[in-house]
Amino acid sequence: MFSIEKATGKQCYMLSAKELSIAWGSSPLYWSWRPALDSRFAEVAELRTIWWLEIIGRINNGMLSPATTYGAYLIVQIADRAYGLDYLASEVSVSVGNFKSERNVYIRPHDSKRKGKAPVSGPVLWEREDGWTEIELGSFYNEGGNNEEVTVCLKEVKGVHLKGGLIVQGIEIRPKQIFKG
């Protein structure tokens, strides 16, 4: 879904859960697809139970504004019955061309009171006004004009514990706010 950010006039893009590569996403044993009234899209993906969590989104940087720093955000909700999402940190990354940023984040912080507050490593998990939560996957500078693939990823594949209750709306790529002090 293409949009224009009102404040800057820059291009934004949101990939729906259906447009993402979700490991075992087509297996009803692991994931269910259902409508969500508060979603921008017809369906969202809900993690039933799995031990290997991997979500990848891809977009051509030509669909974005040139000379712009972008942030990539996984838009999710956590079901009341969620489990295993705070056991190990997930690896998140953003890559375009020869550039790649990587770090670790918790999908659900150990201390739920930290939600919406900036962790020591910087803002990673924020509750949005629309009731969804965004997990910052990383950022990149889009030079433009080079038609390279931007790949964003969240994965937790090292643990063998079960996880469930993650509801995925999609991945949003939008201009990152740069604050000058």
> How does pLDDT run across 47-79, given as a tens digit for each residue?
999 999 999 999 999 999 999 999 999 999 999
Pair 156, 163: CB distance under 8 Å: yes
Has residue 53 been placed in a domain?
A: yes
Count of domains forming the chain: 1
User: Does residue 181 belong to any structural domain of this protein?
Assistant: no
Q: In this structure, which amino acid lies at residue 99?
A: F
How far apart, in Å, are the Cα atoms of 87 and each of 2, 53, 64, 109, 115? Answer: 35, 13, 35, 9, 16
For 10, which DSSP code? Answer: -
Who has greater pLDDT, 82 or 114?
82
**pTM reported for the whole predicted model:** 0.86
Of residues 110 and 147, more confidently modeled: 147
CATH of the domain at 63: 2.60.120.260
pLDDT higher than 80, residue 93: yes
Q: 178 near 69, Cβ under 8 Å?
A: yes
pLDDT, average across residues 86-90:
87
Q: What is the pLDDT of residue 129?
A: 83
